[in-house]
Chains A and B, each alone.
Chain A
């Protein structure tokens, strides 16, 4: 079971990383914005999917781990966020640094809440039918 989970997480982590890499590289000098969007989008999708995926589809536990820990976990990144923050602050871009931190933190929290609420709404509608 553990081995199966690890294999799924490895494969889905690869896809998540490819997506993050692609978005970051096409953003070029705007990679700060790319990381913000990746992290906010990933927070929303994880909140939405962890609630509804097991209920709407018959998926194995290993596959759900692959999608949540691999695909979304590998897509989003905390280390780039914290390192980007200090890069901006060290380079005396204090305003941009503070803005980067605030938008990431508030955006992530708001969109994770929205994903969670939307997931609950979808589940309760499905059950009332």
Chain B
């Protein structure tokens, strides 16, 4: 169990740094867009990749566990919720769109990754 927990920790380290770099890239590239496209992209791409890993790689291998751990740390639920709450103070309609589009596209992406690839 200790080894499994350590793998999740190391994966989350790498995943969190990847999330930071991706967020920074989106903020630098699309400066004028106030919609949180960085987190949207991260959560949809991560959901797709997690579906893909679970569908394609052997269940018991070390690398499967390690890749799953990286994706687990790369995606974020807390930022998604907090961006929704913060946006709701400025633009309610945008907040509602963000809230629903993330979960809808996230689940579809996980399904496509798992079933169709």
Contact = CB atoms under 8 A, between A and B. Distances in A.
A69 B115 CA distance: 31
B5 A79 contact: no
Interface residues of A, number: 52
Interface of B: 1, 4-17, 19-21, 23-24, 42-43, 46-47, 49-51, 54, 69, 71-82, 84-86, 99, 102-103, 106-107, 109-111, 114-115
B20 A69 contact: yes
Main secondary structure of the interface of A (DSSP, over half): helix
Main secondary structure of the interface of B (DSSP, over half): helix
Given A16-B12, A17-B72, A43 B77 contact: yes
Contacts of A105: 99, 103
Closest 10 CB pairs of A and B: A17-B12, A21-B8, A13-B16, A74-B12, A78-B75, A18-B9, A43-B81, A21-B5, A76-B77, A112-B81
